[in-house]
Amino acid sequence: MLEQVVLLAAVTVLGLLEQAYFSLKVIYARRKYSVSPPATTGPPEFERVFRAQANCSEYFPLFVFSLWLAGVFFSQALAVLFGLLYLYGRYLYFHGYAVSAQGRLEPLYFSAKMQWVLIALAGLGVICTITQAYLGLDLLHSFSHVLGLTEHT
């Protein structure tokens, strides 16, 4: 069982490390720009780093849930691929936002697309599992037939 989810766990650990890294960047920015807790405002340079970290943290639960649901119910390999791309996009987003508000946009759109792919895979996987378990319909197999990806039996 564990080998069926170990790659999902590895991507989750990478995501946790990325979140910790973003938090450390806020600590460094607080020191650099003399913004003591609990203050959340200061120079624009600090506020961009602070907002980038907050935005990444806000979306992290959505990422983790969709990663695991897509991996368990659809495909661990695809979930891992899109999960890694999502994390890469968030890394670029964080650093782009730290430089300028405009710098966050392209990575934001990229990571949002990766997130939506994970959500779609999760939803499709759950629906296919429900229809197979309770209706006896293998939707993925049927869809493969329609696309000509498998032999008709």
Token pair recorded at residue 113: 């697309």
Residue type, 109: Y
**Is a pLDDT exceeding 90 seen at residue 139?**
no
Distance CA 129, CA 77 (A): 18
Catalytic pick among 30, 48, 51, 104: 104
Residue 31 annotated to the active site: yes
Which residues, including other chains, have CB under 8 Å from residue 8's CB and lie 6 or more apart?
67, 68, 71, 72, 76, 79, 80, 83
Average pLDDT over residues 99-121: 98
Average pLDDT over residues 3-28: 98
Nearest to 94 by CA among 139, 124, 49: 49
Q: Which domains does the chain have, with CATH numbers?
A: 2-147 (1.20.120.550)
Q: What is the pLDDT of residues 124-137, one digit of tens each?
A: 999 999 999 999 99
Which residues, including other chains, have CB under 8 Å from residue 92's CB and lie 6 or more apart?
106, 107, 110, 111
The torsion of the CA quartet 33, 25, 59, 80, rounded to 10 degrees, works out to 160
Residue 51 annotated to the active site: no
- CA 106 to chain CA centroid, Å, is 16
Nearest to 29 by CA among 48, 16, 1, 55: 48
Q: What is the pLDDT of residues 66-99, one digit of tens each?
A: 999 999 999 999 999 999 999 999 999 999 999 9
